[in-house]
Amino acid sequence: MSAHTGPMPLTKPDGTPFVTVKSDEQWKSQLTPAEYHVLREAGTERAFTGEYTDTKTRGTYSCRACGAHLFTSDTKFDSHCGWPSFYSALAGDAIIEIEDRSMGMKRVEVRCASCGSHLGHVFEGEGYGTPTDLRYCINSVSIRLDPVEQPPAGS
């Protein structure tokens, strides 16, 4: 079950249009079936199966659908929940948060502010020792890591 049914909206909750707008056919031709299911149908990948769950590589995580920068490795932490976890999104309006009452509980869905694609959910007050007490629980298939180039050893 997902937070969203039907086509993803073309506007943000405040009515302003997303920067990146494509037809379902365009999204389907650009994304793999698994990416499309999560990003455009608000699906969820299985826990502990995503490529970034345990990644320690330094860099910036961007939206796999549109390329907008969303998170940095500096805010990624080990939550042991089965999905990549971050305690903060990039400053500004990189993401939008929408109340989600599916699954019989209140959650907050996280979407890319540039294209409206589903990324995951954010949870508060779980007791992780992070500066924000937030856990952005993000599907690996929703994001792409752009690694920071490491200087050569000895330089």
Catalytic residues, which ones? Answer: 137
In angstroms, the CA 89 to CA 71 distance is 5
Q: How many other CB atoms are found less than 10 A from the CB of residue 149?
A: 7
Nearest to 38 by CA among 108, 138, 151, 114: 138
Letter string b/e over residues 74-106, b meaning 16 or more CB atoms within 10 A of that residue's CB? ebbeebeeebbbbbbbbeeebbbebebeeeeee
Instruction: Enter the DSSP assignment of 11.
Output: B
